[in-house]
Amino acid sequence: MSLTPGGVRELHWHQQAEWSYMLLGHARITAVDQNGRNFIADIGPGDLWYFPPGIPHSIQGLEDGCKKYNN
């Protein structure tokens, strides 16, 4: 998946867990847990992250856009 600078994959969720690995660029990931708490992190090349099933999450490309690999 690729995102241009400022591009957003809107808040969504999956019935299965999601692992992702950042190949190029930088992005901001956001997730909301079962208690309504937000988690926000900036990620870059080589970063790996995990969203459990049913956890709403989004990703936004930062200044240089991004390319990530999803499982």
Mean pLDDT by 10 residues, the chain (71 residues): 93 96 96 96 96 97 88 74
- The predicted pLDDT at position 68 comes to 87
Q: What pTM was estimated for this model as a whole? A: 0.90
The answer to whether 63 touches 26, Cβ cutoff 8 Å, is: yes
Determine whether domain 2-70 maps to CATH 2.40.50.100: no
Q: In whole angstroms, how far apart are CA 14 and each of 17, 46, 53?
A: 7, 23, 6
- The predicted pLDDT at position 69 comes to 84
- The predicted pLDDT at position 70 comes to 80
